[in-house]
């Protein structure tokens, strides 16, 4: 997926429809000159919905469509006829889209299932016709309710990508290179921090025509949970990954320290992330001999690990085997 086309944050202005007003009509027919009130109710205003669509992977289609408006409800009429409701508007979004209030930042809901529909801006109710206001002491009510006005306001949509494996590591840990080698994805790769500014998704082929989805999450830095760098924007994408693959370069000054920093950033952002399965890949391992690998292994965190080299194509089959095993264990 081209990074220029990956949009994971949009702010849209949603306006729901006004409700139609109730009618103050009275029944007037031949031989019935003084029929009772028969004013119908107004139709409700149109809602603005979000709808889950598993065919979508990005919010790109909403990037330049900032204003969403639903239709107004029609007024009621005589003979107890209710006005038609305003036209609802449906906004298709990828699974994993979070809806927030644009003013307060309050989380409203998350779309997680195909076809799931949630109202993000509710239309105004239709007003009641004068038929509702008749009574023994007032048999000819000459008033009806006006329809409620629709609502309007800014809403924030944030996408948390859904993948089987999320790659976690500091900038330049080799995440983009691994994704480009294991899948058909073509993320930008360079030897400087934050080459990857947006998550990239790749489908990794496995044995017997099976596959899994891997996400290259942009590099985390210390302090990311507090918004340092681009941290908050990146960390939310990790929440929907089944497995977290930590990647640390073999030439790191202190692998255990790097791992602890990465783990702490996840914990500070959302402690529930620590419940996800974790694997460790030591990258750039083509520069290591067996003796160095054995020495490094003694200092590694207590979790399944492998030494790999994307450039030299070392350990990649074993890595896919390990990932598949953990994705499909009972």
pLDDT at 51: 97
Question: Which percentage of the chain shows pLDDT scores above 90?
Answer: 46
pLDDT at 194: 41
Distance CA 188, CA 284 (A): 18
Q: DSSP assignment, residue 105?
A: -
pLDDT at 58: 82
211-229 b/e with 16+ CB inside 10 Å = b?
Answer: ebbbbbbbbbbeebbeeeb
- Report whether 58 contacts 94 (CB < 8 A): yes
Q: Is the dihedral of CA 239, 245, 246, 249 positive or negative?
A: negative
Q: Identify the CATH homologous superfamily for domain 163-327.
A: P-loop containing nucleotide triphosphate hydrolases (3.40.50.300)
| 32-55 per-position pLDDT tens digit | 777 789 999 999 999 999 999 988
pLDDT at 192: 43
Distance CA 263, CA 260 (A): 5
CATH class given for the domain over 1-159: mainly beta
Burial of 253 (0-12, 13-18, 19+ CB in 10 A): exposed
- Report whether 227 contacts 265 (CB < 8 A): no
pLDDT above 70: residue 257: yes
Give the other-Cβ count within 10 Å of 109's Cβ: 14
| Of 4-8, 41-45, 292-296, 312-316, minimum mean pLDDT range | 4-8
pLDDT band at 27 (very low <50, low <70, confident <90, very high): confident
The residue ranges of every structural domain in the chain are 1-159, 163-327
Beta-carbon contacts of 321 under 8 Å, excluding residues fewer than 6 positions away, are none
pLDDT above 60: residue 188: no
């Amino acid at each position: 997926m081209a990074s220029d086309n990956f949009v994971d944050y949009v702010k849209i202005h949603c306006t729901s429809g006004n409700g139609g007003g109730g009618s103050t009509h009275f029944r007037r027919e031949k031989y019935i000159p003084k029929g009772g009130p028969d004013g119908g109710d107004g139709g409700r205003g149109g809602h603005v919905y979000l709808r889950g669509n598993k065919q979508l992977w990005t919010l790109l289609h909403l990037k330049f469509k900032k204003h969403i408006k639903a239709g107004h409800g029609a007024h009621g009429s005589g003979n107890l006829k209710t006005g038609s409701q305003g036209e609802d508007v449906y906004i298709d979004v990828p699974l994993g889209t979070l809806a927030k209030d644009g003013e307060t930042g309050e989380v409203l809901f998350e779309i997680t299932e195909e076809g799931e529909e949630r109202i993000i801006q509710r239309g105004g109710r239709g007003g009641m016709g004068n038929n509702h206001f008749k009574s023994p002491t007032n048999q000819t009510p000459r008033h009806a309710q006006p329809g409620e006005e629709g609502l309007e306001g800014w809403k924030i949509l944030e996408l948390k990508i859904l993948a089987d494996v999320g790659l976690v590591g500091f900038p330049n840990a080799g995440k983009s290179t691994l994704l480009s080698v294991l899948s058909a994805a073509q993320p930008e790769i360079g030897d400087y921090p934050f080459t990857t500014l947006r998550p990239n998704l790749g489908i990794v082929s496995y044995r017997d025509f099976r596959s899994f989805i891997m996400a290259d999450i942009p590099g985390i830095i210390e302090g990311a949970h507090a918004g340092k760098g681009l941290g908050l924007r990146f960390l939310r994408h990790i929440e929907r990954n089944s497995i977290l693959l930590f990647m640390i370069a073999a030439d790191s000054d202190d692998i255990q320290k790097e791992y602890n920093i990465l783990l702490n950033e996840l914990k500070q952002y959302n402690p529930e992330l620590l419940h996800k399965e974790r694997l460790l890949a030591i990258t750039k391992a083509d520069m290591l001999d067996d003796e160095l690998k054995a020495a490094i292994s003694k200092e590694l965190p207590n979790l399944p690990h492998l030494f790999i080299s994307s450039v030299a194509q070392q350990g990649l089959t074993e890595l896919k085997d390990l990932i598949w095993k953990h994705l499909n264990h009972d």
